[in-house]
Amino acid sequence: MNLLESLRALRLLAIVRGTDPGAALRTVLTLAEEGIEAIEVSLTTPDALTVIEQARAALGPEALVGAGTVRTAADGARAVAAGASYLVTPALVDGLQSTGSPEIPVLMGALTPTEIEGALARGACAVKLFPGSLGGPRYLRALRDPFPEVPFVPVGGVDVAAAREYLDQGAAAVGVGSPLVGDAADGGDLDELRARAAEFRRAITWEAR
């Protein structure tokens, strides 16, 4: 799977983090039904590996269901064994290419120029700019001068308006957690989740901007 090509096409990575594994699974499936195809399940969610396994079983082998908050190579190995199709880290993590699948794509977290270089040196297919809210779209614009070839995916505090701005500044995609998911992964209203999903889909569609 070419994760980067998929992210460039989809423009949105949904981040599911919650307190209820059953609700988290329903959230993943609802997002997929609403056309949001790239979904990350944070390993901070209780029983996250089972959620990933069940989501991949329900959505099929080509589903873009990955594991987030991967902090160690052991985390990555367990996630790959559960069926994660890609890994997302909050920071620089060593050893992820020895997770049992050397082809597994990694979206690695970084903030500073030094960390960005570190992510690339560790084989990241794209850089998760985290926390994006710290510098906002203007910071991304500044980074793209010295790093014009680096695909960035800003994450953290990305609401509908910020999603538009980041994409306008050249982000490959945006990662969105609570502004999209809300409390759905804690057992919240799925109809409200559907409404937020529709709003984000409109925001990231070039023709609508």
Whether the predicted model's global pTM rises above the 0.85 cut: yes
Cβ neighbours, 10 Å, residue 192? 12
Per-residue model confidence (pLDDT) at position 103: 80
Per-residue model confidence (pLDDT) at position 24: 98
Q: Give the pLDDT confidence of 139-197 residue by residue, as tens digits.
A: 999 999 999 999 999 999 999 999 999 999 999 999 999 999 999 999 999 999 999 99
Q: Which residues contact 97 (CB under 8 A, 6 or more apart)?
A: 104, 106, 123
Q: Give the pLDDT confidence of 169-184 residue by residue, as tens digits.
A: 999 999 999 999 999 9
Query: What is the Cα–Cα distance from 127 to 72, expressed in whole angstroms?
Result: 17
- Is the per-residue pLDDT at 100 higher than 60? no
Query: What is the Cα–Cα distance from 181 to 164, expressed in whole angstroms?
Result: 18
Per-residue model confidence (pLDDT) at position 125: 95
- Is the per-residue pLDDT at 97 higher than 90? no
Mind telling me the catalytic residues? 40, 128
- Is the per-residue pLDDT at 34 higher than 50? yes
Per-residue model confidence (pLDDT) at position 101: 61
* In the chain, alpha helices (H): 3-10, 21-33, 48-59, 73-82, 113-121, 136-143, 160-168, 178-181, 190-203
Q: Which residue has the tokens 């052991």?
A: 74
